[in-house]
A and B are shown apart, each in its own frame.
Chain A
């Protein structure tokens, strides 16, 4: 069974600092990896999707890397803002459909 771990569980940084969120997974036979954002009481918003053949994806201030062989992904958020405060979830697809999620990293950006 695929196990996904996210470290750290929580992170607090001053505004303007760069964020580094880590995700590891036990089975490297994945189809893709997604990073999601979840605000309190809300659903999941997809941030980036990396196919297994790709090494990274970028969207604005967000950059996600994937090292499939070592079972790791890192999400970088540049120049953090208070609006970036949320829980960030990593999920992998190990077969055609179902997502396996980590428990998330809760980020607080202090103004």
Chain B
């Protein structure tokens, strides 16, 4: 079946703009994760959903970052008032049990 999809694949934002990144998980997967990957680094955990409940948001770097999954399927990561340090690849993963399946990521560049 279809894997995890993310959109847009690339996003360029001017500093101060708001952005919204979308994740479509594998159908039926209960768990959904967001990670941030800076250039040359491994992904860092941002937040975790089980169905529509956000159970862990300890990795969100500031209150400018907000994630939601209102119907327990599609998720959106929103970044308000983007800063240059927000430039990274944002990866989404979903899991039915313990193994996480990753999407292709959204590369965000803040100019």
Chain B associates with chain A: yes
When distances are taken between beta carbons in the complex, the residues of chain A under 8 Å from B105 are 42-43
Binding stretch for chain A, among B12-20, B36-44, B71-79:
B36-44
* A99 and B100 form a contact (CB under 8 A): yes
Residue in A93, A97, A101 whose CB lies within 8 Å of B44: A101
CA distance A49 to B105 in the complex (A): 21
Q: Are B45 and A98 in contact (CB under 8 A)?
A: yes
Partner of A43, one of B31, B59, B91, B95: B91
Cα A32 to Cα B104 with chains together (Å): 23
Q: What A residues does B43 contact at CB under 8 A? A: 44, 89, 99, 101
CB-CB under 8 A for A103 and B48, given A43-B105, A93-B98, A97-B33: no
In the complex, are the beta carbons of B48 and A104 less than 8 A apart? no
Q: Which residues of A contact B102 (CB under 8 A)?
A: 36, 43-46
- The interface on chain B, measured as residues whose beta carbon lies within 8 A of the other chain's beta carbons, has a size of 25
Residues 31-67 of chain A: 1 if any B CB is under 8 Å from the residue's CB, otherwise 0?
Answer: 1101010000111111001000000000000000000
Q: How many residues of A contact B (CB 8 A)?
A: 23
Q: Which residues of A contact B66 (CB under 8 A)?
A: none
Q: Assess whether A74 is interfacial by the CB under 8 Å rule.
A: no
Please give me the residue from chain B that is nearest to A36 by CB atom. Answer: B102
- Taking CB atoms, residues of chain A closer than 8 Å to B91 are 43-44
Contact B98 A98, beta carbon cutoff 8 Å: no
B48 partner, pick from A31, A34, A98, A102, beta carbons under 8 A: A98
- B-binding residues in A (CB < 8 A): 4, 31-32, 34, 36, 41-46, 49, 89, 91, 93, 97-104
